[in-house]
Structure 1
């Protein structure tokens, strides 16, 4: 029987390598999303809403808020170096933001097992909750970093 891998130890030992991989998301970077916190099963990302990121009513487009939440989710679920992809998400928009506002997404791991991970993502403008997302990740058998299988 295969010995169980302690993924938290992988996170600690390979923090820099994992961090460098997850922070370099070309799409998130193209939007101006900045990764501000990265921990095992947790990520925080921020975005300054620009004038071209709004809908016809002058408020931040839902796709922008989704992209911010999705980036935080992606970072949180890949924090252990194991390739994880989004399986499903559900987002609820409660308030809007406007150009000039800074919005923050915080992704928190609720539960993780060998094959799936469950996450709650909250988006804030200042201290006001403006959207929430629930997300499920599919965890592949592949680690995107080089690990010694005896860890």
Structure 2
């Protein structure tokens, strides 16, 4: 099995039980070893009292991309620590894209950066996630 095939099979296994990402309207558009891209369209129910995409929704999109990237090797992995910086608002009708990239993987610990942009390429948020591998796999190999 190639690394990309493993990443795609891992993503499919995770997605099958990822009710939160499905409920939020996220879509996996790309996955490979140590990387993942998810997208969503900002709808009315994603917007806060200021009429912009709720920061928690933006965070959730970035966190989900991070999760698919750090689980791409079929090793069960969870978030240990995350930080986010909001740089611009997402707006109703925007198409947001979260691209997660692995920066480091040493033993059971990983570091990932996620950039959230809109359809014009404007950076909405920068997210850094630290992961920790735990026992188990997403599928039998």
Q: TM (normalized to structure 2)?
A: 0.92
Q: Distance in 2 between matches of 1:23 and 1:88?
A: 22
Equivalents in 2 of 1:119, 1:22: separation in Å?
18
Counterpart of 1:32 in structure 2 is: 25
- Going from structure 1 to structure 2, the CA distance change for 1:55 and 1:17 (only over 3 Å counts) comes to same
Alpha-carbon distance in 2 for matches of 1:109, 1:34: 20
1:143 matched residue in structure 2: 137
Does the CA contact (< 8 Å) of 1:10 and 1:80 recur in 2? Answer: no
Deviation at 1:100, TM superposition (A): 0.8
Correspondence for 1:110 among 96, 103, 113: 103
Give the SS at the match of 1:143: coil
Q: 2:91 aligns with which of 92, 98, 103?
A: 98
Aligned match of 1:20: 12
The question of whether the paired residues in 2 share the 8 Å contact of 1:91 and 1:131 is answered with yes
CA contact (8 A) 1:44 1:104 kept: yes
Q: Which residue in 2 is equivalent to 1:6?
A: none
RMSD of Structure 2 on Structure 1 (CA): 1.5
The alignment of Structure 1 onto Structure 2 pairs a total of residues equal to 139
Separation in 1 of the partners of 2:2 and 2:137? 10
Gap regions ≥5 residues in structure 2: none
More divergent stretch after superposition (15-24 vs 52-61): 15-24
CA contact (8 A) 2:36 2:65 kept: yes
CA contact (8 A) 1:11 1:81 kept: no
